[in-house]
């Protein structure tokens, strides 16, 4: 069984992690943990990426037996076309950090 630490106790993020893990693993357990000093409302891609990495790295510290840790961070970004809602995901095994972004919606 794969143990996945999740850097949040937000029900929406837990559901998202569960859905992703169901596609990847036959047997898994998502372990949500509260992350102190996580960003409240990131306002750029850079802040969201930093928040996602912070959540993933600190989730793995709290659940050292985890095979992987996830950090999900949503926020707003502004450009000349308007304000967009988007999100970033960081996944780590303790050695490598992978990143992915969601769609952006105005």
Distances (CA, A) of 24 to 17, 27, 94, 99: 11, 9, 19, 16
What's CA 83's distance to the chain center, in Å?
21
Distances (CA, A) of 58 to 37, 84, 91: 10, 27, 11
CA nearest neighbour of 41 among 77, 79, 90: 77
Predicted TM-score (pTM) of this structure = 0.93
Count how many residues are written for the chain.
106
Which domains, ranges and CATH numbers included, belong to the chain?
A: 2-101 (3.90.950.10)
For the stretch 26-71, pLDDT in tens is 999 999 999 988 778 899 999 999 999 999 999 999 999 999 999 9
CA nearest neighbour of 57 among 46, 47, 68, 42: 68
Residue with tokens 């989730």: 59
Where is average pLDDT lowest: 1-5, 74-78, 89-93?
74-78
pLDDT of 17 reads: 97
Strand pairing partners for 29?
3
Q: Which two tokens stand for residue 39?
A: 């960003």
């Amino acid at each position: 069984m794969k143990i996945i630490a999740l850097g949040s106790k937000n029900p929406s993020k837990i559901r998202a992690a569960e859905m992703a893990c169901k596609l990847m693993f036959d047997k898994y357990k998502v372990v949500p943990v509260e992350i102190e000093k996580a960003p409240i409302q990131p306002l750029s891609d850079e802040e969201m990426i930093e928040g996602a990495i912070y959540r993933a790295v600190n989730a793995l510290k709290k659940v050292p037996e985890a095979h992987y840790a996830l950090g999900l961070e949503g926020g707003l970004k502004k450009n000349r076309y308007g304000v967009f809602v988007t999100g970033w995901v960081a996944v780590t095994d303790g050695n490598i950090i992978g990143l992915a972004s969601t769609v952006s919606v105005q």
